[in-house]
Amino acid sequence: MSNVGIVIVSHSPLVAEGTADMVRQMVGDEVPLAWCGGNGHGGLGTSVEAIMGAIDKAWSEAGVAILVDLGGAETNSEMAVEMIGEPRSHKIVVCNAPIVEGAVMAATEASGGASLKEVVATAHELSPS
Q: Where are the domains of the chain?
A: 5-124
Query: Residue 129's pLDDT band (boundaries 50, 70, 90)?
Result: low
Residue 67's H or E segment, with its range, is: strand 64-68
Q: What is the pLDDT of residues 45-78, one digit of tens each?
A: 999 999 999 999 999 999 999 999 988 999 999 9
Rounded to an integer, the average pLDDT of 98-108 is: 95
Fold held by 5-124? Rossmann fold (3.40.50)
The pTM for the full model equals 0.95
The count of other CB atoms within 10 Å of the CB of residue 70 is 15
2-31 in b/e form (b: 16+ CB < 10 A) is ebbbbbbbbbbbebbbbbbebbeeebeeeb
Cα–Cα dist 6/19, whole Å: 11
Catalytic positions, written as ranges:
11
